[in-house]
Amino acid sequence: KSLTIGLIPADGIGREVIPAARQVLEALASDVMPARLSFVDLDAGFEYFQKHGVALPEQTLAALKGDCDGALFGAVSSPSHKVAGYSSPIVGLRKKMDLYANVRPVISGAAATASGEKRAIDMLIIRENTECLYIKEEELHEGPDGKYAVAKRRISEFASRRAGEMAFSMALQRDRMRQQVAASERTWKARPKVTIVHKSNVLSVTDGLWRETVRGVYAGNAEYREGVDVEEQLVDSMVYRMFREPEAFDVVVAPNMYGDIISDGAAALVGSLGLVPSANVGDSFVVGEPVHGSAPDIAGKNIANPIAAIRSAAMLLERTGYASAALAIYRAVDKVLEAGQIRTPDLGGKSTTSDVTEAVCRLL
């Protein structure tokens, strides 16, 4: 077996954290990683655009489609002013590869609460990534009382169904992976759960269709009904509960805009941006991507936290069928964080990107 991964570091600290993730993948022992790994270096990004006039070159897309089973993307520096001919390569990649869901885990080790009890946050937020208000159909009008603007929001059965399928199948997949951890070490609830986020009490047509469709995915599949619990949460109370008792959530599935807001908010629960991974997922391809940007303020200094990128690489493995390898990486990262000696400056430490990467590799 073999697994070919496209590497697209792009800009800024992307060029430091993507090589770190590669180093960790290469350190995986063969008992957890049965496939032979190979890597393809690919271009994209704003710096590439400045030199060549294109941010996502055709060769990169062709190599991803032709040669790769998945990819890792670093970060892009987006100009704050409009630049003619430039459009974000990661947005282009999502469209061209039909990566219709953005998947973001929010993980914390067992942090003690004020009352001293152990509480581990281990949520997976699945955001539908192709429609909702972000179809950008907005119009500005002039009325008798002045200007007003109207935006269209698209919710389809098709997009809601595949987001729902992804949520329930990932809940089961997470459960299978967790079964590999000794019962005494588990900090999560026994049974997987999917929380459907909506606001159908107000937006009964659009959010109503979303809710009905995702519910229908569950009702129509015996495996989901047997293995997963389902609950619903209005988006406003979702935010409230997420800050009060984040440990109560497992998989959360939301329409595009709610998902965008919830997932950034959730990242605040676990500290530095340098810890939070994500994956852009479609039916036949996955691109792991740290949530952070290109961080020009720290680029080139070997102090960027590589953990978000390393965890994104683990998500790629999980999605391509190598759950044991993914789990090995998650656990090695958790151990380095728990030990606390080797930390980059964003977590209050003095270690370098390379120190953290090597510490993770040693545990593999």
User: Which residues would be at the binding site for ligand NAI (CB under 6 A)?
Assistant: 13, 17, 75-78, 90, 273-274, 292-298, 304-305, 308, 344, 346
Task: Choose the one of ligand NAI, Mg ion, none that binds residue 260, judging by a C-beta under 5 to 8 angstroms depending on kind.
Answer: Mg ion
Report the residue number, 17 or 328, with the smaller CB distance to ligand NAI. Answer: 17
Q: Considering the complex, what minimum distance in angstroms separates the CB of residue 90 from ligand NAI?
A: 6
Q: Considering the complex, what minimum distance in angstroms separates the CB of residue 291 from Mg ion?
A: 8
Total residues belonging to the chain = 364
Phi, psi for residue 279 in degrees, rounded to 5: -140, 140
CB 323 within 8 A of CB 335: no
Task: Choose the one of Mg ion, ligand NAI, none that binds residue 173, judging by a C-beta under 5 to 8 angstroms depending on kind.
Answer: none
Q: Which helix (H) or strand (E) holds 354?
A: helix 353-362
Per CB under 5 A, the segment of 120-128, 262-270, 313-321, 334-342 that binds Mg ion is: 262-270
- Gyration radius (Cα) of the chain, Å: 21
CA dihedral 19, 22, 27, 28 (to 10 degrees): 160
Report the residue number, 216 or 349, with the smaller CB distance to ligand NAI. Answer: 349
Q: Considering the complex, what minimum distance in angstroms separates the CB of residue 71 from ligand NAI?
A: 14
Q: What is the DSSP letter of 269?
A: T
Report the residue number, 213 or 263, with the smaller CB distance to Mg ion. Answer: 263
Task: Choose the one of ligand NAI, Mg ion, none that binds residue 101, judging by a C-beta under 5 to 8 angstroms depending on kind.
Answer: none
Q: What is the DSSP letter of 55?
A: S
| Residue 173, token pair as written in the block | 């997949």
Plot region of 343 (φ>0 → left; ψ -120 to 50 → alpha; else → beta): beta
Report the residue number, 263 or 305, with the smaller CB distance to ligand NAI. Answer: 305
Q: Is 260 in the site for Mg ion (CB under 5 A)?
A: yes
Neighbouring residues of 203: CB distance < 8 A, sequence distance ≥ 6 = 153
Q: Considering the complex, what minimum distance in angstroms separates the CB of residue 315 from Mg ion?
A: 17
| Residue 226, token pair as written in the block | 């047997």
Q: CB nearest Mg ion: which residue?
A: 260
Q: Considering the complex, what minimum distance in angstroms separates the CB of residue 347 from ligand NAI?
A: 8
Task: Choose the one of Mg ion, ligand NAI, none that binds residue 77, judging by a C-beta under 5 to 8 angstroms depending on kind.
Answer: ligand NAI
Q: In angstroms, rounded to a whole number, what is the distance separating the alpha carbons of residues 300 and 324?
A: 33
Size of the residue set binding Mg ion (CB under 5 A): 2
Report the residue number, 19 or 259, with the smaller CB distance to Mg ion. Answer: 259
Neighbouring residues of 209: CB distance < 8 A, sequence distance ≥ 6 = 155, 156, 157, 160
Report the residue number, 105 or 164, with the smaller CB distance to ligand NAI. Answer: 105
Q: Which helix (H) or strand (E) holds 128?
A: strand 122-128
The amino acid at residue 194 is V
Q: Is 139 exposed, middle or buried (0-12, 13-18, 19+ CB in 10 A)?
A: exposed
Q: Considering the complex, what minimum distance in angstroms separates the CB of residue 319 from ligand NAI?
A: 19
Q: CB nearest ligand NAI: which residue?
A: 293
Q: Considering the complex, what minimum distance in angstroms separates the CB of residue 264 from Mg ion?
A: 5
Report the residue number, 61 or 133, with the smaller CB distance to Mg ion. Answer: 133
End-to-end CA distance of the chain, in Å? 20
Q: Considering the complex, what minimum distance in angstroms separates the CB of residue 292 from ligand NAI?
A: 3
Residues forming the site for Mg ion (CB under 5 A): 260, 264
